[in-house]
Structure 1
Amino acid sequence: MDYTIAEAADILGLPCTRHGGYVFNELSNDSRRLSFPGTTLFFALKTATGDGHKYISEAYSLGVRSFMVSARPSEGMDDAAFLEVPDVLSAVQRLAETHRKRFGCPVIGITGSNGKSVVKEFLYHLLCREYNIVRSPKSYNSQIGVPLSVWNMSSEHNLGIFEAGISMPGEMERLERIILPDIGVITNIGPAHQENFRSYYEKAMEKLKLFSRSRSLVYCSDDPVLSRAVKDSGLESIAVPWSRTDRGAHIFVESVSAGELSTTLVVSFDGKTRTFSIPFTDAASVENVLHCIGVLYCLDSRLLDNSAPFATLEPVAMRLEVKQGRNGSLLINDTYNSDINSLAIALDFMSGRKKSGDYRTTLILSDILQSGSEPEDLYRRVSEIVSAKGVDRLIGIGPVISSFSQLFRMDKSFYASTADFLSVLRSSDFSDELVLIKGSRNFHFEKITERLEQRVHETIMEVNLDAVVHNFNRYKSKLKPSTKMVCMVKASAYGAGAVEVARTLQEHRCDALAVAVADEGVDLRNHGISIPIIIMNPEISSLNVLYDYNLEPEVYSFRLYDAFVREGVSRGASSFPIHVKIDTGMHRLGFSPEEIPSLAALLKGQNVVRVKSVFSHLAGSDTPELDDFTMSQIRRFTDAASLLEKLTGDRVLKHILNSSGIERFPEYQMDMVRLGIGLYGISMSGDTGLKNVSTLKTTILQIRNVPAGDSIGYGRRTYVERDSKIAVIPIGYADGLDRHLSNRVGKVMVNGSLVPIVGNICMDACMIDVTEINAEEGDTVIIFGDSLPVSYMAGILGTIPYEILTSPSPRVQRVYIND
């Protein structure tokens, strides 16, 4: 829907502004993700981690001419329209609130601790044949995500489904005004985002504020916290509870019968009984489906007469995956949503992964189903987005997109079905390409992914890039806006894979990266990383490489300094940045404070290099017992750095804090900090607000029955004392699993239960005892991850989480996910 700047000013109560006739129909707060800049309103947010006003000029250069700001640029941009407001976020929410009120279709609002996105996608699957639905892309449920989601409403839609998430009291009232749900669902109340609430009850009361003007509220009345909160919120009059124990509930669950691959639900309501078969057996999926039954009951109970859509529900892969493909290609698998909004999001992600000039970009796209738009209008819009994102090649699959092939101007080919495409697909068709695979579930694009991915091992390391961003922003929020941050991506980003982590950090405007050796920096440069890279342990043999690839060395000795300057003289270098390391008590690398005058004299006598920063390393910032020593290090560093500045006459950046230093000594953040292990979700001093980044997982290859008295594995080190079920999993010490975990020392997790490793760990496999749990061949096995943190394994082995994270070998494929 089009708005003019003048209309927006009127909504916000602002005086008339220049260029009031400018039209916009899209909102964006990210200059890196602009599909149609000419019709986009760019809103410059100030947050704890950044200021969008810094990117106004970038957005302007890309073609944006409509802006919402809290401070107008001092000069230039005379042909741009500026809406100047005291609070940009509130103003954007006000626009979305007004936009929402222009549409009278029913809206479903979903909140809760877990399951919001799954319930939303299940509802879409169950209702898309009856309604033209607009819904939140992915998990857009925040103070920013909700207005962006609701902005997608148009006159074509006759049902909306939106998520709302909060992390502290006082947030839900804003989201309620924007979503204004007619039907509400609260999925459950659990530990997620608990840190800012005193109790589950308080969190439930806050979440229920989403439904203050709703006509129906679906929830499970078997939850005593929710039931009490619904009553105390005054929402009993709109409550539509379902229950397994209370026959007085609107919807009563008569029975839940789990089979091997499916579950049969028998429910009763209004004197009727209905049976639904769902292709899930886990408790969470059953609960999510029962919420959906409640919503359909509220929307139109006749919808429950047709049980067929329930039988075709599919697991919701709520995250985008990045996998290594054949012939040097990179695959981006995103079949979570198939609509035009999620397509633009996925294409933005692909753009961030493209190496400058190296990757050809290919989009494999299916028909977009149930869009509600006229097909020609829809695919013309798709063509515009695909062209705007710079896609080199399109492979369209499906009868509808194929019929509009003439709308696409890039290299293209079309196929009526997935089977037709697979019949002509050769692995050599894709080489050094960045391939986005985006298809509706009916097209079974997983078959395409299987053909194109380079997968030779069941054991993988799953790396959550959204968790990296979350942790990055969490630490950034502890800093002053002026404090810079260096992120450590050495040792292959602590095992996570340096290239993808570095790309993610660069995209989120990290100030600099740091690696251990020059080869690591060269690899990042070769993969398109352009931000500053510090080499922490440079060797004299690599000095030429540092100059060639613009890699900034840590300088820790006179020998290294002399060699680096000589190399620079031979190249005619000038003011090449270096980082001076001072040893304040750790006694690893660095100049002693007493050597600073001699170093300063050398620095003043040349112009080949310039000191960009001076720093030191804290030896025990995570240990309260060592706080006196930490403070002595900080004092020694401050004195030495000040002396260096005084003697050289140059102002340099100073930094001494690492991850635990940021947590425990933020008052000493100085000009810059270095974020290492905390970036990967591990706090050495107890920060519980971090998210796990890396999950090492594998699968059960075989389960065999072993009689009592028999032995397991090489050397017959383990004998079973009872008839046992022993599972074999394809991970061994060649994959990085420490052999000291053999013979019941270590444990892994299968279906939520810890089970012991039995026998000696082999090179490529090991055995686990699954006698006491339900386990089947093909089940997932967690070595470490969310539910089994690396600190658990580190504790067993008497080591540190760093060693565990960096242990998985290169043959363990890294699979990157983006929630």
Structure 2
Amino acid sequence: MEISALYACFLECQGVTTDSRNCPAGSLFIALKGASFDGNRFAAQALAQGCRYAVVDNPEYAGTDSRILLVDDCLKTLQQLANYHRRKLGTRIIGITGTNGKTTTKELVSAVLKQKYNLLYTQGNLNNHIGVPLTLLRLTSEHELAVVEMGANHPGEIKALVHIAEPDYGIITNVGKAHLEGFGSFEGVIRTKGELYDYLRGKDDSVVFLHHENPYLNGIAQGLACIRYGQTPGLFVSGQLTGCSPFLAFDWTAAGETHSVQTHLIGSYNLDNALAAAAIGTYFGVSAAQVCQALADYVPQNNRSQLVDTGRNRLIVDAYNANPTSMMAALQNFRQLEAPHKVVILGDMKELGPGSVEEHRKVVGFLDECGFERVLLVGGEFAAATSRYEHFADVDAAIAALEAHRPEGCFILVKGSNSMKLSRIPEHL
């Protein structure tokens, strides 16, 4: 089926779904395949539940129903349809990627831009080869701007995503040691994130928002129109930390005027994310007062540097993701916070490849310097790295230990990769 013909069917629909358990009336169902499922099998069910059309790539399931549309490859069709739709609307798009902070930066940028614009932005972390197309297919003619987050764990993935989204503006929050198993090396991380810059370099009138103090990003930004932000005076937006006990407070300056913000963000490492949002908002004409209000009102969700008061303890819950860069940043920030009793609960950092144990040893070395009152480590990588601290094979064993010896009146950092399931710990504290 030609993409133009499919697009005509898409325009008759009320959105797109790839989940036969969630079929809003009048939507377009696209049958994707996974390791343990084949969406083709559910096409008829999706139609019965209210979808207007169903797209399949297996003739066996096409049948005689004219509402079932046969294509060569449903995933490629989803991506082509999203790109076709993006081109038809011509909405200005800001692409965001980076090792750490991209989701928080996306949320902050979106909070700021919503003050002035009808904005579409990535929901949650739908930032991969499926999530990006689904985000683009939510665009309507009413949207004035879009913020699209792009994630990757292998070379070439950002390149593929930017050719679907075709952003006009871009920001790489930072580059760090994450997904090294897929990227092969830190240099591989830089090259892959830099695929966003590579795309924008070849596009007329593109603009990059550049963290001025990041040497890796400066090193790959040649030939780009850059709007710079950071802590160096005199940039388009510059800022300085004014407090972090535990919530981030900072001053930021643009066009010679300085403004103060008290946020609900935990961690001095969020200063750069907030400055990025201030820079992008200022560039797009959002007033300084609106920028400040949006940043002050934003409250993080989904286990991303959340402050939780359980009644018995105060927790910083950062259990959505972890890599050497974000782990060290979280520990450095926690070390600086003033509290009489500090406890650290860390889970393994995943997808680090052959150097994983060494990276975990570096974290342990820093823990040795910090002198926290109690340290609990969860997972096999930390077990291979040290025997000096309490260690547990999995989160259930850690929970049992915490229930046997309950912390009281402590400030507790909980951080690890999502697959370690440390997000289950707070309810037991």
Q: Which has the larger radius of gyration?
A: 1
- Is the CA contact 2:303–2:318 (under 8 Å) kept in the aligned structure 1? no
- Is the CA contact 1:462–1:816 (under 8 Å) kept in the aligned structure 2? no
In the alignment, which residue of structure 2 is the partner of 1:604?
none
Q: 2:28 aligns with which of 41, 46, 60?
A: 41
In the alignment, which residue of structure 1 is the partner of 2:120?
134
- Residue 296 of structure 2 is aligned to residue 312 of structure 1: yes
* Structure 2 unmatched ranges of 5 or more: 328-333, 346-362, 407-421
- Is the CA contact 2:117–2:145 (under 8 Å) kept in the aligned structure 1? yes
Q: 2:159 aligns with which of 170, 173, 190?
A: 173
- Structure 2 matches for 1:652-801, cutoff 5 A? 727=341, 753=367, 769=373, 783-784=376-377, 791=383, 795-796=387-388, 801=393
Q: 2:194 aligns with which of 182, 205, 209?
A: 205
In the alignment, which residue of structure 2 is the partner of 1:53?
40
Q: CA 1:103 to 1:258, structure 2 compared with 1: closer, same or farther past 3 Å?
A: same
Deviation at residue 12 of structure 1 after TM alignment = 4.8
Q: SS where residue 79 of structure 1 aligns?
A: coil
- Structure 2 matches for 1:164-563, cutoff 5 A? 164-197=150-183, 198=185, 199=187, 200-209=189-198, 211-212=200-201, 213=203, 215-231=206-222, 234-235=223-224, 238-245=225-232, 247=234, 249-253=235-239, 255-258=240-243, 260=245, 261-269=247-255, 272-279=256-263, 280=265, 282-300=267-285, 303-304=287-288, 308-309=292-293, 312-318=296-302, 458=313
Q: CA 1:315 to 1:194, structure 2 compared with 1: closer, same or farther past 3 Å?
A: farther
- TM-score in terms of structure 1 length: 0.39
* AA in 2 matched with 1:221: H
- Residue 19 of structure 2 is aligned to residue 30 of structure 1: yes
Cα distance in 2, alignment partners of residues 131 and 22 from structure 1? 24
Deviation at residue 791 of structure 1 after TM alignment = 2.0
* AA in 2 matched with 1:41: L
Q: 1:67 aligns with which of 54, 66, 79?
A: 54
- Structure 2 matches for 1:66-105, cutoff 5 A? 66-73=53-60, 76=63, 78-105=64-91
In the alignment, which residue of structure 2 is the partner of 1:358?
none
Q: CA 1:810 to 1:25, structure 2 compared with 1: closer, same or farther past 3 Å?
A: farther
In the alignment, which residue of structure 2 is the partner of 1:117?
103
* AA in 2 matched with 1:294: A
Q: CA 1:28 to 1:277, structure 2 compared with 1: closer, same or farther past 3 Å?
A: same
Q: CA 1:31 to 1:210, structure 2 compared with 1: closer, same or farther past 3 Å?
A: farther
In the alignment, which residue of structure 2 is the partner of 1:159?
145
* Structure 1 unmatched ranges of 5 or more: 1-8, 321-335, 337-445, 468-680, 682-687, 693-698, 704-724, 732-748, 758-767, 770-780
* Cα deviation 1:629-685 (Å, max 9, x = unaligned): xxxxxxxxxxxxxxxxxxxxxxxxxxxxxxxxxxxxxxxxxxxxxxxxxxxx9xxxx
- Is the CA contact 1:185–1:295 (under 8 Å) kept in the aligned structure 2? no
Cα distance in 2, alignment partners of residues 26 and 726 from structure 1? 52
- Is the CA contact 1:274–1:304 (under 8 Å) kept in the aligned structure 2? no
- Is the CA contact 1:204–1:226 (under 8 Å) kept in the aligned structure 2? no
* AA in 2 matched with 1:293: A
Cα distance in 1, alignment partners of residues 276 and 343 from structure 2? 36
- Number of paired residues? 371
* Cα deviation 1:700-759 (Å, max 9, x = unaligned): 9xx9xxxxxxxxxxxxxxxxxxxxx9527699xxxxxxxxxxxxxxxxx99x855788xx
* Cα deviation 1:782-801 (Å, max 9, x = unaligned): 63359x96526983479872
* AA in 2 matched with 1:217: V
Q: CA 1:87 to 1:209, structure 2 compared with 1: closer, same or farther past 3 Å?
A: farther
- Is the CA contact 2:79–2:164 (under 8 Å) kept in the aligned structure 1? yes
Q: SS where residue 170 of structure 2 aligns?
A: strand
Q: CA 1:33 to 1:142, structure 2 compared with 1: closer, same or farther past 3 Å?
A: same
Q: SS where residue 230 of structure 1 aligns?
A: coil
* Cα deviation 1:220-245 (Å, max 9, x = unaligned): 122111111111xx32xx21122434
In the alignment, which residue of structure 2 is the partner of 1:571?
none
Cα distance in 1, alignment partners of residues 41 and 318 from structure 2? 30
Q: CA 1:797 to 1:154, structure 2 compared with 1: closer, same or farther past 3 Å?
A: closer
Q: CA 1:283 to 1:241, structure 2 compared with 1: closer, same or farther past 3 Å?
A: same
Q: CA 1:782 to 1:194, structure 2 compared with 1: closer, same or farther past 3 Å?
A: same
* Cα deviation 1:106-143 (Å, max 9, x = unaligned): 32221111212211221232232322221111111111
Q: SS where residue 35 of structure 1 aligns?
A: coil
Deviation at residue 67 of structure 1 after TM alignment = 1.9
- TM-score in terms of structure 2 length: 0.70
